[in-house]
Amino acid sequence: LKASQEHCMDELRRFGIVLAQQAALPQRLNSVEQALASTADQHTREIKALRDANAKLSHSHAKHQRDAEALQSHLAALDERLDKFEGHAGELLDQHGKELG
């Protein structure tokens, strides 16, 4: 009888532990859900910040690209004008040399 009582008491203790674990489960699950929600919110904010930064960088890059193209066009025009000036100066020097010589 005593062994049977001890066995019953052991079973009741085990059952109590299982009940305690089951009672803690909703609370633990709630904690996990809150942590996941917080992490998801943080990641959403970080993704938005990265998208905003990328858009700003794209806009800046496009502006610099336009500026570089404008500068390149300006330099080509200056190069053309310098070629004409050098040609004209060479003609004047040749003419001046003929007049002196």
3-state SS class at 69: helix
The whole model's pTM is what? 0.53
Cα dihedral 54, 55, 61, 62 in deg (nearest 10): 150
CA distance 71 to 98: 40
CA distance 40 to 32: 12
Sequence-distant (6+) residues with CB within 8 A of 30 are none
Worst-scoring range by mean pLDDT, 6-10, 15-19, 43-47, 49-53? Answer: 15-19
Fill in the amino acid letter for 27. Answer: Q
pLDDT greater at residue 76 or residue 12: 76
Once rounded to an integer, what is the mean pLDDT over residues 47-56?
A: 98
